[in-house]
Amino acid sequence: MNHLKDSRIWCVLLLLISCVVMNGCTKENDSSITKTNHALSLQNDAKTISYSKKLDALVQKLHLTNDENVESDVRQKKIEEFTQELNLLLNEPESVEMKDGELVEKFDNNLTILTKLFQIKSGQLNVRVMNYRAPTTVTGTIGGKYTFIQWWSTKELVHAQMLENDGPELTTDFIVRDSEHGIQLSLGGHVSIYHPNPVFVDLWELSGQKWAQKSIDVGKMKLPDAWELNKDVDELILENRQHESMSIEVLDHGDGFLINSDESEQNIIIEFSKSGEVRIDSEHSLTSDTHSEQQSYELIQEKYSENGIVIKYPQITKLEDAEKQKSLNQLLKNEALKRLHEYGYSDSGAHLEIDYEIKRQSERFLSIEYTGIRYVKKAAYPNHIFYTTNLDMKQASKLRLSDLIKIEKPFIELLKSGKFTAVEPAQKGLIGNFTQDKLNQSLTDADVLEGSAEESESDTFSYLTSDSLGISIPVVHAAGDHAEYEIRLQQIPDDMKQNKELWKELSPVVDQSASVVNGGKLDTNQYEIEESQSFRTTFEGFGKVRFVSTYGYTEGFRKYFFFLLDNKGHIVYPFPEFYGNHGWVAFYGGVKAVAFKDVNNDGLKDVIIIANVDNGIGGPDRTEPFPMAGIYFQRKNKTFTILPALDQALNDKGHNQTIKDVIQYVSKQRINVN
């Protein structure tokens, strides 16, 4: 019994000892957690203090850059330090705690900041674009601008990058959007290379945690006469020298920019498709056209959007006859949406975007061209869509090619004779691949869409412009899916015309095109045209022309050659030899930039070209391609001249990377070529 009693006593003692030990451990553990939390709090406080100190130090450095009593070399160095340290500071999570206005005030209004929230496929993304303008007393009026982008999905994942480093661009607005290539950033703003400041648009794509600049693919483009588009390497620059002020802002739907001039009739719209292709058009092209005849109605835009299919089409307003307007609008809508019969009810992986252009708008005729791209998941390539609608406004009915033209052997021979001009010069010879019987059938059935009540269906369409008849025929995908050919109305013989009453009202509008100087057509067997660097433009001494960049061969070596052509492909003017041809070989696909600008302020537009060259040798002795720049100055006697010493200087000194580099260097020279 005593033995059992002793055992119970020992158990109680052991239990008491265990409780004491465990209680001590718990207290020690609680103390450890408390110490850890306190340490983390101290670390966060230290980080905040560290960030605050860095911010204050950066502000002090900014004050030094603005102090005109400090030597300019010292101020320039402080500018470099300030921008580099600002970029580092923007990568810290604490930097997103401050609002835009607070940051601007902190830096004494030396920064402009804009922050936006975007909803993308991966979730919400905050994006902040920040501009810094260095003192002009140090950097001059052209350069000295810095652009930073900061982005974060959560406050723990903050990234920043300097996009513009001591350049002439100042961003005023931006877009972030999903595209087929990933997340893209489009910046819009001003370029301070001369007055009035042109506007720019450039494109960036997020790769990993870094933004990389991408080339902009300009698709459909329609600019009023006063506007000029220059492509400076990977950047679009638009200018209107007739107006003192221009602004750029994001469109309401968020897929492009609106460029405002001080005259509202001259506004420009730049829109991005999901494929990345860019459309440039006049804001008022829907209601007016530089080649339109007078009309008593206006056009507005409507849009069908459903299940990945977007089709834009026009509707008529302000027509006195309300019943006729209703009938015409129903006809326009039906014609525009007939592609739904072919594509609208296909698999859910299809995506279709169709836009339109008014080709002719008059009291009697309305001609509309629809173009677009169709994508299908897992398809080998996208399809390019083309169709048209032509209306007889008087009869409130649709017009087909056969209503205007006798589809007979003489007209088909005219089409194949070369008197029709290919809208895209590369497609010039495709018409010859069609037999006479095939063309006869295609033209007879022209202007009938799938889903139409007509028995025959065709992918051949016609349209009217201010002075021409256009015909579109289907071609293989590799050649573009469709090809367009135009002929002046005055060149069509009377015996081929079908309806004399209609033709009486088809009087063409006079077009002041360039006069032919040399008369001969450009030999495309001798010169290969680089289409991406060939543009329609206007020169004071030549009128409306097409500037073409080409490659040709001299003594077995590829060289660059540049021409002005009229609308029939005749040579109006051959440019002098390009500076980069001397001792070097043209790099295929190497024309990087072409710009038409009055560089020497004499009232005449000049031509700036930047193109890559190499030594034309393969193997280990090959030289990597490098840029060469050259300037053609326009003279009053309808010629262009070169200044070899100037070309040599701007290339030797490295001012040949971008159009802005060239202009910045040449603007400091005094040049008179007349």
Across 235-364, the runs of DSSP E, i.e. the strands, are: 235-239, 246-250, 256-261, 268-272, 277-282, 298-306, 309-317, 350-361
Q: Is 368 helix (H, G, I), strand (E, B) or coil?
A: strand
Domains of the chain from N-terminus onward? 298-504 (no CATH), 528-666 (2.40.128)
CA distances from 432 to 446, 496, 529 (A): 18, 21, 20
Q: Where is average pLDDT lowest: 37-41, 88-92, 171-175?
A: 37-41
- Res 350 pLDDT > 80: no
Q: Is the pLDDT of residue 110 over 50?
A: yes
Instruction: Note the pLDDT of residue 332.
Output: 94
C-alpha 205/C-alpha 631 separation (Å) is 32
At residue 509, the pLDDT reads 39
CA dihedral 615, 616, 618, 622 (to 10 degrees): 10
Most confident of 138-147, 233-242, 457-466, 514-523: 457-466
pLDDT at 175: 92
pLDDT, tens digit, for every residue of 297-315?
888 889 898 877 889 999 9
Report percent pLDDT > 70 for the chain: 81
pLDDT digits (tens, 9 = 90+) for 496-549: 998 888 887 775 433 333 333 445 788 888 899 998 888 888 888 788 889 999
Please tell me the least confidently modeled range out of 91-100, 296-305, 364-373, 573-582. 296-305
Return d(Cα 545, Cα 572) in angstroms, integer: 8
> What is the pLDDT, as a whole number, of residue 129?
96
- In our burial notation (b when 16+ CB lie closer than 10 A, e otherwise), range 294-305 reads ebebebeeeebe
What's the whole-number mean pLDDT along residues 438-457?
A: 72
Q: What is the pLDDT of residue 671?
A: 85
- Segment among 70-79, 117-126, 270-279, 412-421 with least mean pLDDT: 270-279
Instruction: Please tell me what DSSP assigns to residue 340.
Output: I
Q: What is the pLDDT of residues 369-413, one digit of tens each?
A: 999 888 777 777 788 889 999 999 988 999 999 999 999 999 998
Dist. CA 95–CA 266, nearest whole Å: 41
Residue with the bigger pLDDT between 9 and 549: it is: 549
pLDDT of residue 169: 86
Residue 197 has pLDDT above 80, yes or no: no
Residue 670 vs residue 495, higher pLDDT: 495
pLDDT for the residue 47: 55
Residues forming a β-bridge with 468: 488
Cis ω for the linkage preceding 620 (within 30 of 0): no
The dihedrals phi and psi of 408, each to the nearest 5 degrees, come to -135, 175
Residues 222, 224: Cα–Cα separation, whole Å: 7
Taking 70 as the threshold, does the pLDDT of residue 2 lie above it?
no
Query: With b meaning 16 or more CB within 10 Å and e meaning fewer, what string describes 7-44?
Result: eeeeeeeeeeeeeeeeeeeeeeeeeeeeeeeeeeeeee
Round to whole Å and give the CA distance between 408 and 519. 32
Cα–Cα distance measured from residue 552 to residue 561, given in angstroms and rounded to the nearest whole number? 7
b (16+ CB within 10 A) / e for 93-132: ebbbeeeeeebbebbeebbbbeeeebeeeeeebbbbbbbb
What pLDDT was estimated at residue 368?
Answer: 94
- As a whole number of angstroms, the distance between CA 253 and CA 108 comes to 34
Average pLDDT over residues 209-234: 77
Q: What is the CB-side half-sphere exposure of residue 103 using CA atoms within 13 A?
A: 20
User: Which residues have CB under 8 Å from 74's CB, separation 6+?
Assistant: 64
> Percentage of the chain with pLDDT > 90?
29
**Separation in Å, CA 150 to CA 108, 130, 219, 312:** 20, 8, 30, 35
Q: At residue 23, does pLDDT exceed 80?
A: no
Helical packing angle, 72-89 and 2-66, nearest 10°? 150
Residue 286 has pLDDT above 50, yes or no: no
> According to the model, what pLDDT value does residue 518 have?
44
- Per-residue exposure over 543-553, b if at least 16 CB sit within 10 Å of its own CB, e if not: eebbbbbbbee
At 578, give phi and psi (nearest 5°): -70, 140
Per-residue model confidence (pLDDT) at position 291: 39
- Say which residue the tokens 């290339």 belong to: 651
Residue 427 has pLDDT above 90, yes or no: no
Average pLDDT of the chain to the nearest whole number: 81
Average pLDDT for residues 425-438, to the nearest whole number?
84
Q: Do residues 176 and 162 touch, judged by C-beta distance below 8 A? A: no
Answer yes or no: are the C-beta atoms of 134 and 75 closer than 8 Å: no
At 457, is the pLDDT very low, low, confident or very high (cuts 50, 70, 90)? low
Q: What pLDDT, on the 0 to 100 scale, is given for residue 212?
A: 93
Q: Where are the alpha helices (DSSP H) in 471-576?
A: 500-504
Highest mean pLDDT among 123-132, 333-342, 513-522: 123-132
